[in-house]
Structure 1
Amino acid sequence: MTIAQEEAVEASLDPANVVGPARRPMSRNRLVWLRLKGMPRFWVGAAVIIFIIVWAFIGPALYAWSPTERDPLNMNMGPTMIHWFGTNAIGQDLYAQTLSGLQKSLVIGLIAGPAATLIAAVVGSTAGYLGGWVDKSIGWFVHLLLVIPSFFILVLLSPIYKGLSWVALTIFLAIFSWMIMAQVVRSQTRSLRNRDFVRAARYMGMPTGQILRRHIIPNIASLLIIDATLGVVSAIMAETSLSYFGFGVQKPDVSLGTLLADGTAAALTRPWLFVFPAMVLIILLFAISLIGDALRDAIDPTSGVNRG
């Protein structure tokens, strides 16, 4: 054996030169998770949201007062050891009412936001994929709904749902909050429907609904996740605004919007009636926005400068 052959054999036996099996490519979900792990704002937002949800739904069980219970001896009192957030003009405990209002706002936001995204995904992907008269009809309908802001539409429809429970308000918020995202999904679907994998599925005779579920919507899932997260913020803001002006949650139900409306007139003389509900609302919206911002950067790093 020549010297060159001996060196080649030794090199092949060196562990550093042994080529192992090809490593499997990292999945998109794991890649997104690894990016999220390195973003402090995601963990801050997630921790605050978890705390707020636990506080809203478990806190009332650990507190002595209920939202409707009155204390005639401590009306219009500031925060004390007995009433942590103070009381209103009729002696109701503001801490208990804030937790009750927070529950309502959370449930409305967590249902209406993702529901609006689901409607946008179905309508937008159907219009973009089918094209033709279906696309034109849906596009015309969406443009018609966008002519008047959804807030004013909900105000005009308030006589219908005001007499019903807050569940009706949640449904109406979802119905009139999907149009802009539907336009984005429609545009993205148009660019995907001529891709090779979509054409192959169509030539194989796969039904339209199955193509949308398996090939179209998964490829725009990042946009939908971001929209659903930020949609929670939009739904909470819309509910709070409607309730503040008397078009949303109606008494005896309580939401953060109704508490802010009741406390506005006394913001200078009895600031606790306004400050505590306002602080809870601001912290809630800020935490959800942090999560939405982190998800956007993790799913699409090119969407902006990664500040994590």
Structure 2
Amino acid sequence: MATTDRHPPQSVPTSSLATLALAHALSAAARGFAVIPLSRTKLPALPSPHRDDPPTAPRCHGECGLPGHGVYDATADPRRVRALFAAAPRATGYGIACGLPPHHLIGVDLDTKTGTNSSASLRELALRHLFTIPDTVVVATPSGGRHLWLAGPPHVVVPNSAGRLAPGIDIRGAGGYLVGPGSRTEHGVYATVPGTANLAPAPCPPALLQLLTPPPRTHHPDSTRSGQHGAGLVQFVLGAHEGQRNTRLFWAACRAYESGLGSTLTDALVDAATRTGLTEREARSTIASAGRLTSGP
């Protein structure tokens, strides 16, 4: 991943910006990161194909096969990356999906807009919980913040959060994305910090990982909502592309157990997973891992 100038000329044609964004995205994809095109606002550049659907329509995470599902479009396949950018000619950047194999990326966003010293807050957390931040990829943001890239274990789902660890520290986990280095936004350019561009995301320290995975919440859903929630989780698994199957199944199983649907939904999740290409043994092993994780200590 190449570093870039922080403040490029504003007169660069949109077509050239899109070409540069695609080049950076393909470079990231070659390293195994799943990417999506982003606009100048850092939002996904492709409009949702369901924007005119009624509010009661079931949520689609890409099961329809059309692009425009945000982070659920993310891919490391260069052909699909090119197709996404071809459909988004005004893209000026790219997002990197978190939580997906092979890196299972976790993003630690040290923000500066809150007026707090988020870097100092992270150091205090490290001292208090006896961990150190290893050498890893660091991306400088236009506002002066930093994104630290860490690798998570395959069977741990890290949720997104904002300010939960400390003011100014946001976490990008499963279902989230980081703005990739080389992206141009309306506020400036994201660039890797010198000396970190060629590093792989370092493993997340276990003590920090424990802080990032809070205990499961207790839910008491009614039967109607339980059925809708369960059907949505099954559809989420069915929408998995190659390379996402195990991660999607594990995420869905965790949500099922947290909702009290783990045993009820197991067979349906196994059936959905085998239809995407996993073996029944793989599927049941992944669901069992989700059950152990969500059962607490």
Between Structure 1 and Structure 2, the one with more helix by share is 1
Same-fold status (TM-score > 0.5)? no
Using CA pairs under 8 Å that are at least 6 residues apart, name the structure with larger relative contact order, 1 or 2. 1
TM-score using structure 1 length? 0.24
TM-score using structure 2 length? 0.25
Mark the structure with the bigger radius of gyration: 1
